[in-house]
Structure formats: structure tokens, C-alpha cells
Structure 1
Amino acid sequence: MGRMSVESMIWSHYGKTVMILLVITVILQAYHMTKLMKLHERNKEETETGESLHKKHIREVNAGDRFTGQRMIKRVSLLEYVEQIEKAHLMDSSGTYMIIENVVTPVSDDSNETLSLCSQTTADHLHYLKDLTETWHGPVSVTVFTHGHETAFALYSIAYMHTCFEKVQTSVRFHVAYPISHPPINLKTVINMEMHCDNFESLINENNINYENEIAYPHNVLRNIAVSSASTPYILVIDIDMIPSQDLNETFSQFISRQSISEIKGDKNKVEQTVYVVPAFESQGDHKTFDKQSLLKQWDFQNVRPFYKNVCWKCQKVTDYDKWRGLPNLPFLDVGYILEWEDPWEPFYIARRKDLPPYDGRFKQYGFNRISQVCELHIAGYQFAVLNNAFLVHRGFKEPASFHAKKDAENSRNRELFRTFKENLKERYPKSTRQC
């Protein structure tokens, strides 16, 4: 009896242990099943939410609202840009720079357009394209200068502007140039950058000046790339922080259609060798876009003034701003008056792209880079016709103190180069009787 009692006690204790373990197992299985069911329900909800968001995104795309908020920049596109840079094989005529044309092209067809804006910049100033394309409703061709480690940020900036702003996507073609001596480094780091369209501030660096770099900024090389890659018969070369007058693309197209009648009547050479001057202004404050009447009003309020008024007035005064201001108020674009070129006038102008003398790529940094090409136009026989209602507005007043420290030294160096350039023009145009 004692032995049986002990065995019964043992088995009774063992049985209780087994029962407790069984109960714990059942409880754990029930808990696990509950978790699985909740996870399933959550996945189902996320799937439904994802499908709902996807459908919402499709609706937004159809509504033309796909360029705001959390829209992501496609990494596939970034990889394509990287591959284009890595496979670059086209050099400029001096063999100094590598050129990659049409890294990104506009999604709209610009083959029937008349006039393109052409510009150049570093990645730090690409954000100006946002305001520019809100006023300018035509093609834009812009060359981005970069080098070394900065190339990844340049590609990111291009991808951001193209993806996140509809008007940039539909109108701007981007090109890239870098010095062969400073090729891109660690390009694929661009894939790890923040890729949301709500990060516009990451593109803005107002303190960066193109000239303030150890590598000389080649304005004219970059301008030539933008001009040669433009898709239209006419081009207007501007600085990236300028904005043209409202409706210039449309009104110039109408104007040039009327001018074409002159070609038919026998004035073809005269029309082909005319550049159309677009007077330039500076604006302070938030004033970005104007028609001529609102520009004149802001001029009266001293919120607007002629370009380079306090920096190099002799470089712009030949435009004769007072005469332009007093032109009749016509409802269409036309030639206001014809001017003879005078040194050191460096106007902005619309020109036929075909047969236009290129910018001289030897001019880099500050000074004489634009006037060298204007000088050649004059020697080549071009006339300068000032348009009555067209103009450009530079954002901010230009002041002498705002320039970089090496400006005067660069200007002196380029002045010497300009003297050599003018001697070259005598050899290039031996029959010309004009001087500059």
C-alpha cells in the first residue's frame, strides 16, 4: 500500500504537470492564432489602403496633380542619369570639358516651337527654373556645370527639378559638362539621397557663387552647349536668375511670322543678320513677373531699374532705356528702333540659331565673356533691333559690393584676352569695315 501510494502520488503530480503544460500550449497556440489573424487583418488593411492610395494617385495623375507632396524621384531614372555620365565620350573643341547633351529631355514635343531660352548654371542655382518656367511657356535648354564629388548632387538636383515641377518636366532639357581634369567621383551616392518632392530647400544655396570655386567657371562653353542643343530656330541666352516678360514666347512667334514675309519680299539677308535686343532690368523685393505697363509702374516706384545701373552702366546704356520707355503702347510685339553697336554694350538678344557665331570658350570667370560674342556679331555685319514690349528682369539689384573677391583680377585677365580676340576677328572677317 505504501508503494502504491507513492506511485499514485508521483503519477498524480506528473499528470498535473502534463495538464498544466497542455493548457499553456493551448493558450500559446490561441495567442499565436490571434496574432496571426490580427497580422492578416493589418496586411489586408494595408493592402486595401495601398490600393486606395494607388487609385488616388492615379486620379491625381489624371487630374494633373502628380508633382506635389510626397511624390518620389525614381531611382531608376537616377541610375540612367549616372550611366549617361559614366559613358560620356563627347569633348568640347578645346578638349578640356566632357559634354553630356540631353541628360534629361522634356516630355512635351517642342519641335514646332519658335524660341528657346538658353542658360547655364551650377546645381546650386537650378531652383530658379521653378519661377522661370511659371512665366516662360516655351522650351528651355540649360547646361549644368559640375565636377568631382559635386556631380552626384547635380544629378539629384536635375532629377528633382524634372520630377517635382510639371512645367520644368514639360519644357526643360538638361545638359551636363565637367572638366576632364576633375571627373565625377562616387556618382552612385546619389541613390542614397532623400528622394521626396517636399525637400525643395535642399536645392537652395544662395550663398554659392559660380565664380567662387577652385575650378574656373566656363560660361561660354556652357552657353554653346545650351544653344547647340536647343530645338528651335531662335534662341535667347539669359542668366539663370532672369525672368522674361509675360507671353514673350507667343508674341515673338507671331512677330517672326510677320517678319518672314520680309524674306519673301527679298530682304532675307537683312532678316537673317538681325538680332532682336531684349532690354534687361533689375528688380528688388518679390517682384518677379511683369507686362510692360506693370514694369513701368514699378520703375516709377524705384522697385525696378535698368540692368547693371550701379555696376557697369556703360555696358547697358546704349540700349537707350528712356527711348524704349517712350515707345507707343502697341498691343503686339514689334521692332521699336535700330541701334548701332558701341563698345562696351553687351545686350541680351534673340537670334537665329543657324549660322550664329559661337561664344569664345577661352573666356572664363568674370568679364568679357558675353561682350566678346556681341563684338563678333557687330564685325560680322549684324544689326541690333530693340523690341518694343519684350524685356528681362533679373532677381535682385546688382551692387558693386555683391561681387566676389577676385572679380577685378579676373576682369583684367579677360581684358587682355579680349584684345587678342579682336585681333583674331580681323583675320576671321578680313572684308569687314567695322571695329570693336
Structure 2
Amino acid sequence: MKARWVPNIQKVILFMVVLVILLQVYHIYLMGQLEEFKDTKNYSNSVWDDIMQKVRDAYKTDSSGFYFLVPNILGGSQQHSSDSFDLALVTHTTSNHLHNLVQLSERWAGPISVSVFTHSHDAEFALQLIQNLYMCYRHIQLNVFFHLVFPVSSHAKITKIPYHDVDCSEEYSVKSTSQNFVLEDKLKYPHNVLRNLAIKTVAAKFVLSIDIDIYPSANLLHSFQRDVLPSSTVDYRTAYILPIFEIDENQDIPSTKQKLLQNKNIHPFYANVCHWCQFATDYHRWESLGSNEKLEVAYEVQWKLPYEPFFIAHKSSLPLYEERFKQYGYNRVSQICEMYVAGYKFFVLNNAFLVHKGQKKKDKFYSDKKKDHKENKALFQDFKEELKSRYPDSARTC
């Protein structure tokens, strides 16, 4: 009888040995996870401390003295070498639309410079969202660097914002129900202050300035560097225009020109709001070109008010945006007007394009839109007169 129990005892002993080994391995795994969690938490704390230190040290303002400008609050020091990129994407936003950065940074695998506007009632959410996006998305951590703009009057309150733990389980896809330009304390959204800050902080030679809810065609960065930059068309005073389209919020953004042209629900940007703002791009001509593997200049267009295309241009000679224009109206066209007077040429690229997620409609603007547009129109008249003094030898006028 004894002999029959021996194998069973050996199996029990073997089972116990294996169990102990497995428990030790699991223990080591849990300890590793705990250490990784501690490292992540420590790193997150360090990131937050860096952000708040830069906010506390804010001293530089815009030309009006109303807004503090805080460049590179996050991401700039971690940025990979910009030597391999001749083109950077620059954009701006409030916390309301910052979630678009996730999809935008997936589409644009290169440097992105984003200026975020906030204020005392919004800053806690905005800064927490910036921290979470940076910590939770590797491509944002590698490619995006953030800047902050806020009213000087908000400084004291912003510096008291406490640390929040990072939560990467949350999906950052829900935006506020607030309309564009509707901000607390009757603040005016300073598009051009934000745009200029984002442009000044990039090292790339060329920039593409777009709004954060606009997405470029796939591989635009690579194609521009490979095909356009070595060509004879490159000039410091050339604007490479990208046709821009609108798509419904719930539709996927087409990646190629072929897919774009197959979608019958897409139409030119601002078609229902300001037809002439994009008319000169000549969409019918662009669509008739078909699709080509090589990105190149297709044709030249003539600028005329109120044409306001989106474009790629060399940073060194590009006029900065006029910062007196805030809220709605003339904030982009004023820059393009100056480019025209300065002697720029405007060329449309054959394959590249942009897509705005959401269709613009006349009845969907905020209540003070007409009032702000009228004020900016008056400013634009003054601005055009100033251009005559800035460019006395130019025969061009707006």
C-alpha cells in the first residue's frame, strides 16, 4: 500500500514547487507594476510642477499688455530633433476643442505647435487636459509642444490650481456645449496672438497654420518635403495653397484625394457662409486634375479680397498675423492681404488638401458675430492704409 502513495506525494510536492515559483513570478510582476505606477505618478507630478512653474514665472505679454504669453509650457524640451522636419503644423484653440489634437497628431506625424487660450474660470480644466493628453498619448508627447495664453488679470488664480492625477482611461472626445467665441467675462478670443506665438516657437523653415478642427490629407508632411522642397518652385514669397473642404461631424475624414472625390457629402469650406472666401482656389479645376503620386504645384491663382486660403509658406519672410483683430472677422485675410501687397505668389498643390470637421452654417454663429465683424471691418480699413506705408514700392493694394 505504501508504494502506491509515493507517486502521489511526489506530484503534490512538484505541484507545490511550481505554485511557489508562479507566485514568486507574479509577485515580481506586481512589484514591477507598482514601481512603474510610482514612476508614472512621479513623472506626472514632475510634469505638473514644470507647467505651474512656467505659469508662475509668466512675464511676457502681447503688444496690448492684456495677455500673458507662456511658450513651451510642455513638450518643447522633449521634442525630437527638428532637423529632420522642414515643415511644422501650427494651430490654436481653447480647452473646448483641444480634444481634436488626438486625431490631428495621428494624421500629422511631425512637429505640431499649439497655443491654448484659457482664463481663470477655465484654466484648471485646460491645464489638466493638456497634462493628460501629453501623458496618455505617445505621439502627442513626441511631436506636440504646448503654449499658453491667458489674461494678465487671471494670473493669480491660475497659479493656485492644484495637481490632479492623470487618468488615461478617459477618452478625450467630448467638447463643451459653449459656442465658439463665447467666453467667460466677455473675453475676446485673440486668434492672431495665439497663431503668432505658435509660429515663433517652431524651428522648421516652413509652416502650415490651421485651426485645430481642420485635418490635412495623409502623408502631406512627407510628400511636401520629398517632392516640393527640392523643386524649382520653392521661393521665400510663395504660398502653397491647400484646397479645404467641409464634412459632417460624424463622418470619417478622407485620407487621399481619391477618397475625397468619391464622397458626395463633402463640399468646399464656407460654401454656405462666404462663397467668395474660397472661390479663387478653383475647386473644379483642382478636382479635374485627378490623383497623382507626386505632390507638386498645379496652377497659380490670383488673390483678390475676400479670398482667405490656407497655405504652406516659408517662415522667414511670412508676415505675422495682425494682433488687433480678435473674435470674428478679418483675422486671417488681413495677413493674406499683406502677403499680396508684399509680392507673394499663390500656387495650388495638386494632391494635398484640408478637411474641416463640421459644416459651417449662417444660423450657427454666436449672437455678437455681426457686431464683431463690423468692428473688425473698420480696423481692416485702417490696416490697409498702413500697408501703403509699409510697402511704398508695391503697386499692389487690397
Place the TM-score, normalised by the shorter chain, in its bin.
0.7 to 0.9
Per-residue deviation, residues 245-265 of structure 1 (Å, max 9, x unmatched): 000000000123322xx3xxx
SS in 1 for 2:318: coil
What does 1:7-18 align with in structure 2 at a 5 Å threshold? none
Question: Given the alignment, which residue of 190, 194, 208 partners 1:222?
Answer: 194
Partner of 2:240: 276
> Residue 89 of structure 1 contacts residue 98 of structure 1 at CA under 8 Å; is this kept in 2?
yes
What secondary structure does 2:332 align onto? helix
Distance change >3 Å, CA 411–CA 75, structure 1 → 2: same
| 1:186 Cα deviation from its structure 2 partner | 4.8
TM-score for both structures, normalised by structure 1: 0.80
For 2:238, the aligned partner's letter is: T
Which amino acid in 1 is paired with 2:50? E
Alpha-carbon distance in 1 for matches of 2:176, 2:64: 31
1:53 corresponds to: 30
* Alpha-carbon distance between aligned partners in 2 of 1:58 and 1:308, rounded to the nearest angstrom: 52
Cα displacement (A) at 1:49: 5.9
2:91 to 119, 130, 140: 119
Q: Which runs of 5+ in 2 are unaligned?
A: 1-21
2:53 is the alignment partner of 1:87? no
Instruction: Within 5 Å, give how 1:405-424 maps onto structure 2.
Output: 405-424=367-386
Instruction: Let me know the Cα RMSD of the aligned residues.
Output: 2.5
Give SS of 1:98's match. Answer: strand
Question: More helix by proportion, 1 or 2?
Answer: 1
Q: Which residue of 2 aligns with 1:367?
A: 329
Please state whether the residue corresponding to 1:281 is helix, strand or coil: strand
Q: 1:137 Cα deviation (Å)?
A: 1.1
**Separation (CA, whole Å) in 2 of partners of 1:73 and 1:46:** 30
Q: What SS does the aligned partner of 2:293 have?
A: coil
Cα distance, 1:393 vs structure 2:
0.4
Q: Identity across aligned pairs (percent)?
A: 38
Which secondary structure does the structure 2 equivalent of 1:336 belong to?
Answer: strand
- Alpha-carbon distance in structure 2 between the residues aligned to 1:189 and 1:223: 26
Q: Which amino acid aligns with 1:85?
A: V
- Alpha carbons 1:90, 1:99 under 8 Å: kept: yes
The structure-2 alpha-carbon separation of the partners of 1:50 and 1:176, relative to structure 1 and needing over 3 Å to count, comes to farther
Measured in 2, the distance between the counterparts of 1:329 and 1:57 equals 52
Count of residues in Structure 1 that have an aligned counterpart in Structure 2: 371
Change (3 A) 1:338 1:54: farther
Any conservation in 2 of the 1:335–1:388 contact (CA below 8 Å)? Answer: yes
Separation in structure 2 between the aligned mates of residue 389 and residue 163 of structure 1, nearest angstrom: 34
Out of 45-54 and 107-116, give the one that drifted further: 45-54
Aligned to 1:35: none
Query: Cα distance, 1:107 vs. partner?
Result: 4.0
Summarize deviations over 1:344-368 as a string: whole Å, max 9, x none.
0000000001121110000000011
The one-letter code sitting in structure 1 at the alignment partner of 2:321 is Y
> Would the alpha carbon gap of residues 58 and 251 (structure 1) be closer, same or farther in structure 2, given more than 3 Å must change?
farther
Give 1:1-400 correspondences, 5 Å limit: 51-53=28-30, 55=32, 74-105=44-75, 106-191=78-163, 193-201=164-172, 204-213=174-183, 214-259=186-231, 262=232, 271-284=235-248, 285-298=250-263, 301=264, 303-400=265-362
AA paired with 1:215? L
Query: Larger C-alpha radius of gyration, 1 or 2?
Result: 1
Contact kept in structure 2, 1:164 and 1:197, CA below 8 Å: yes
Give the deviation of 1:386 after TM superposition.
0.4
Distance change in 2, residues 1:46/1:161 (3 Å): farther
CA contact (8 A) 1:72 1:197 kept: no
For residue 195 of structure 1, report the CA deviation from its aligned partner: 2.3
Deviation of the 1:123 alpha carbon: 1.5
State how far apart, in whole Å, the 1-side matches of 2:34 and 2:212 are.
33
SS in 2 for 1:338: strand
The amino acid across from 1:196 in the alignment is D
Q: 1:50 & 1:357 partners in 2: Cα distance? A: 61
